[in-house]
A and B are shown apart, each in its own frame.
Chain A
Amino acid sequence: NAGVTQTPKFRVLKTGQSMTLLCAQDMNHEYMYWYRQDPGMGLRLIHYSVGEGTTAKGEVPDGYNVSRLKKQNFLLGLESAAPSQTSVYFCASSPTGEGAVAKNIQYFGAGTRLSVL
């Protein structure tokens, strides 16, 4: 059971470098999310997507871009990394639909630990 898979698991960047974090889910979920988690700050939503080809900004979108070209994949890009983007990044997905609450549970990937020097 793969669930939500994030790559890479670890990465070190220099200031100004760019990179893309990949999230893939095999549960046929419509919704996908990117969070960052910093000590004492909890999970903060960066961007999210309600379906293939659509994205929206969350609480802390500056410095990040996303794309959802395929339903199962959600990419997070850093065009010019800054030390303030050192964090642990989590991807999550959830199904849609009213009714049974269980359909809206978010399932998380294992995270990507990013350091920007």
Chain B
Amino acid sequence: GQNIDQPTEMTATEGAIVQINCTYQTSGFNGLFWYQQHAGEAPTFLSYNVLDGLEEKGRFSSFLSRSKGYSYLLLKELQMKDSASYLCAVRNRGSTLGRLYFGRGTQLTVWP
């Protein structure tokens, strides 16, 4: 099966930088996704990594190391609206294309 681990909660201050880590153990890795979910709302896609390295998209960046089974989501210049749950999800090669296995999510609270 899949084993995806991420911290339950994190807090940070407005304007700061925060790094949310995700470790995974899976067979036939074929991509890692990050989703953002505000309270009471649907998850929305943030980023995707399939090769090692950093993917940057505005204030958000995501990093992947396949050999270490590790990813992180980096949020810069934090804003109050970034308070949300961040979900790490892994896709496997050989399983139904598109099927994702989600971690339990990291609840980020941004304080003024």
| Interchain CB contact under 8 A, B42 and A108 | yes
A31 to B96, CA, bound (A): 9
List of B residues within 8 angstroms of A104 by Cβ: 31, 91, 97-98
B102 at the interface (CB under 8 A from A): yes
Q: Per-residue CB proximity of B1-13 to A under 8 Å, as 1/0? A: 0000000100000
Query: What is the size category of the interface that chain B forms with chain A?
Result: 20 to 34
Residue among A43, A56, A107, A109 with max Cβ neighbours from chain B (10 Å):
A43
User: Hey, which chain B residues are within 8 Å of A56, CB to CB?
Assistant: 96
Chain B 93-112 interface residues, beta-carbon cutoff 8 Å to A: 96-105
Interface bin, chain A: 20 to 34
Taking the closest CB of chain B, its distance from the CB of A58, in whole angstroms, is 8
Q: Which residues of A contact B (CB under 8 A)?
A: 4, 31, 33, 40-45, 48, 50, 56, 90, 94-96, 98, 101-102, 104-111
